[in-house]
Structure 1
């Protein structure tokens, strides 16, 4: 049996478990990428094993592989066309449920899938909640051609915006640049604080060479936040509701202890 879960793993697990309650039989569900989203995929896999019928649209190659491994039927967004729900993690979220995403390198597919859904639910632990976005480096996906020119344009642009820092770094994978599923690079913007996230999102996408940025503005509908003691908060931005409950589970039967960061 796996060892006792850490507080952070417990928080991710209970958030994922609670988010599964929004999934209904027959739904087409966008499946996010990252360590927290992986817990969701495993939880959904258990429900599928018990008879739940859903179709998953993964946001990355690795999520697709995990979904198939746990028995979830997988299709493409082109085949599904529109989704009932997308559930994904986040690197940061603010009180208005605006997000920074892309720490796992899948921001482009994640944003496309999320915006092709009736609702987006974010699952997170308490550390992802912030008053102002920007402490987590903001990922920007860029095409490889002329990326250094794109980097210089980004540096020039953010220097004129309401931020605390203006450092831009190329994301690496060992000694080579990180390559996204679409064959692009990621430039991480170390901003410290983003004074106007909406303006930032619009301005960044006007720069030649930029494919997409990791700011998710007015996309997320619900955030499910897990805590290390098993408590879960659910905040719905559309109806202004907020609720809290406790997720009970038998840790000795937990199969997810290998899904930490």
Structure 2
């Protein structure tokens, strides 16, 4: 299938490109994880090659982002070496009207949260299917847990009214292991009325490293849509 025949792919490219165009020279850029952000990284590489963009360094949020950045010629640094992040660009699994997010479908939410919260400006790139009225509508909350604590953490989550499930690997026997060497529990809640409170409550369970609820951190959401076979980008 060529790009011309695949409006969804074209739309993801356009959203990724729209975000990449907001990056300015001489900046430190948080590089997110996922299919749409992959196009952002590719386009940042193109802008560097053409000379349209100069002197940027990236901080990847995952092994995937690191590999892509190297592939497209974006120099990388670490959080130890910088005192700020100018802009971070990342995807999301759900976005509510207040721009709160659920992230972690790719199990990289812990690193993403560290980078995205540090950024002066945090841009989220999504397609319109990720826009929800209320968090938890269609996507479970990913919770990264150190392996020895899986059982007690699941018990604690059940007491909160959540339905926890250990995320298993695809094409791999056994559970998904994060870049930090931990496991991921996907938790379904009937309703998330107070995302900020739930985020804190989950993180207070001993053994939980971080969860995928992102509250009050998003500055801009770029939404890709396909209408009548034509891709477009709008802001939330």
- Whether the TM-score (by the shorter chain) exceeds 0.5 is yes
State the shift of 1:7 in Å: 2.9
In the alignment, what sits opposite 1:180? 178
**Structure 1 residue 5: Cα displacement:** 4.7
* Partner of residue 171, structure 1: 167
Distance 1:3 1:230 in 2: 12
The equivalent position to 1:197 in structure 2, one of 195, 208, 219, is: 195
Distance 1:21 1:10 in 2: 16
Matched, 1:127 2:129: yes
Distance 1:119 1:188 in 2: 28
Aligned residue in 2 for 1:75? 77
Q: Which residue number in structure 1 is paired with residue 148 of structure 2?
A: 145
Shift in alpha-carbon separation, 1:87–1:175, aligned structure 2, 3 A: same
2:35 corresponds to: 35
1:176-225 deviation per Cα after TM superposition (whole angstroms, max 9, x unaligned): 11110111110000225312111111111111111111000001100001
Please, what TM-score do these two structures have when normalized by structure 2? 0.93
Rounded to whole Å, the distance in 2 between the matches of 1:5 and 1:221 is: 33
Looking at structure 1, the residues matched to 224 and 3 of structure 2 have their Cα atoms a distance apart, in angstroms, of: 20
Equivalent residue number for residue 26 of structure 2: 26
How far residue 234 of structure 1 moved from its aligned partner, in angstroms, is 1.7
Alpha-carbon displacement from aligned partner over 1:122-174 (angstroms, at most 9, x marks no partner): 001000101101020110001011211111111112x1xxxxxx321001113
Counterpart in the other structure of 1:258:
none
Name 1:63's counterpart in structure 2. 65
TM-score, L = length of structure 1: 0.84
Q: Distance in 1 between matches of 2:5 and 2:105?
A: 23
RMSD across aligned positions (CA): 1.4
**1:10–1:227: 8 Å Cα contact kept in structure 2?**
no
Provide the secondary structure at the position in 1 that maps to 2:85: coil
CA distance in 2, matches of 1:207, 1:95: 28
What CA distance in whole angstroms lies between the structure 2 residues aligned with 1:137 and 1:7? 27
Match of 1:108 in 2: 110
Q: Structure 1 residue runs of 4+, over 6 Å off? A: none
Structure 1: which 5+ runs fail to align? 160-165, 236-261
1:11 to partner: Cα distance = 2.2
Secondary structure (helix, strand or coil) at the match of 1:4 reads helix
The question of whether the paired residues in 1 share the 8 Å contact of 2:28 and 2:86 is answered with yes
CA contact (8 A) 1:13 1:226 kept: no
Q: Is the 8 A contact 1:108 1:141 kept in 2?
A: yes
